[in-house]
Every structure is written in structure tokens, then in C-alpha cells.
Amino acid sequence: MGMRFTVLASGSTGNATVVQSDDATVLVDAGLSGKKIEELMRERGIAGHHIDAILVTHEHSDHIKGLGAFARKYDLPIYANEATWGAMERHVGTIAAEKRVVLETGETAAFGSMCSTSFAISHDAAEPVGYIFEDGDVKLSLATDLGYVSDKVRHVIEDSDVLVLESNHDVGMLRMGRYPWNIKRRILGDSGHLSNEAAGEALCQLMTDRTKRVYLAHLSLDHNLMDLAKLTVNSILENYGMFFRKEEHPLRDTYHDRPTPWDEVRRK
């Protein structure tokens, strides 16, 4: 039993992730054009007809831009909670009733041997969620677009084998950046996005001996750099007493314009 995944793209310009077990393949979010999603999937050797379902985290355009077109082209079911369906319906076009699946927050859906459970997060959307995926005794957690890591979120995603966690911005870069103050305040707030510092502090509680890798995700193009995010997070982990040899360091990159390599999530 086990899974593999690739983050096709991550950031404010579009988000999509493929998670695959031995007998099922799902797409989490479709925040780029259908054509771009197909192009990124081809880079990882898969095609639209390999996808069994699409899971949606929330209705913001960088998560649903290509959702309707991609789902209709490949006749795919879409899973989202009722509030998210209500918020995104006018943006995704006509979806056949039998393809419109309501998965309420906290519920679990099975895709072959793999199960996915949604969990509530804090973000300025109708009812945003993250997802955990489990197959046998392995666990992958996807948690981006959250203003802070609540105790409930921590309880759900801690002790993951692999974790994809938001590290959106450097607070100093954001405060000095070109955005108007009302946008900065939104990003910095409890319904905004995790800073590098907040991601590092959260990881001090989330990482266990079981945690093999952590992907820093949804980085701002204007107010962050991957090297800065990794440096900040790692410094916090070291201050907490967590040291790693370079060759087995858990922090991994994601990209806004290209997919991550396939990552096998399996127990040794």
C-alpha cells in the first residue's frame, strides 16, 4: 500500500496537485486553464483520462480556474462541500447533476484503496478545506490557504508521512511591498495566508519521527523567495532543537510554473 503525488503548480497564479494510489488517481484543485493542467500532467507522464475525480479546497479562482472545462472534457465527478458549491457554481459553468458530489467538511471519500478526508481551515472563502490522504498506514496532508494552524488543524495533519504546507510570504517583504494596506491586512490576518515564520512555528509541532518530507507551498511571487522560505523555516526548526543532515533534510520546493517530481509516500 502507498501513494505518490506531484504538485503540478502552487501559488497565486494557480494550484493543482495529483495524488495517485495503485488503483486510483485524483486531482486536487484545478486553478489553471485546462490546457495548462494537461501540459503539466504530461510532464509527469499522465493524461486527463487517468484522473478519476477532482477535489476542491475552495472557490477562489487560483483553485478553480480550469475546473469546469477540465471536468466536462473528461467527464469527471467534482467533490466539494455544499457551501463551496454554492460559491463556485456560477464560475464553473454547467456540471451534470450526477457529477456534482457533495463531500461535507470532515467526511471521507474512497478512491480505490485510497481515502481522502477534508478538514476545515481558516481562510476568506465560503467553507475552505484541506485534505488528508491515507492508503494503508501512510498519510499525506495538503494544507494551504490558511491564516493560521488551529489546534483542530494541527490534530488532523500532525504525524503525516509527507506534508504540503503553505509558506506564503515573508512578513517584512509583504509590509514593504506594493499591495494596498487592506490587501496586506487580509493576507496577514487569521483568514489570510501563512507566513514563513508561522509555517516554521507550526512545523515544530506537526513534525514527528514519522515525517519524511515537507513541501513549502503557495509562495507569493511578490513577497517571498523559496530560498528565504526554507532558510526561515529551517532556522525556526533549529531553534526548536530539530537538526537535519543536508542529504536527508525534509524541506522541499514547489513551483508556480512546473510540477514537482513524483514523490512516493510509502513506509519503509
Encode pLDDT of 23-78 as tens digits. 999 999 999 999 999 999 999 999 999 999 999 999 999 999 999 999 999 999 99
- CA distance readout (Å), 48 to 31, 156, 165: 15, 30, 26
Task: Give the pLDDT of residue 130.
Answer: 98
119: nearest Cα among 134, 108, 131:
131
Please write the tens of the pLDDT for every residue from 141-174: 999 999 999 999 999 999 999 999 999 998 999 9
User: 88 CB contacts (<8 Å, ≥6 apart)?
Assistant: 56, 59, 64, 67, 80
Task: Give the pLDDT of residue 125.
Answer: 97
Task: Give the pLDDT of residue 221.
Answer: 94
pLDDT of 5 higher than 80: yes
**In this structure, which topology does domain 3-265 adopt according to CATH?**
Metallo-beta-lactamase; Chain A (3.60.15)
Locate the domains of the chain by residue range: 3-265
pLDDT of 87 higher than 90: yes
**Is the pTM for the entire model greater than 0.85?**
yes
Which grid coordinates are listed for 131? Answer: 485534505
Distance CA(19)–CA(67), nearest Å, equals: 16
The helix/strand/coil state of 128 is coil
Please write the tens of the pLDDT for every residue from 214-259: 999 999 999 999 999 999 999 999 998 887 877 678 999 999 999 9
> CA angle, corner 85, sides to 70 and 55, nearest 5?
50
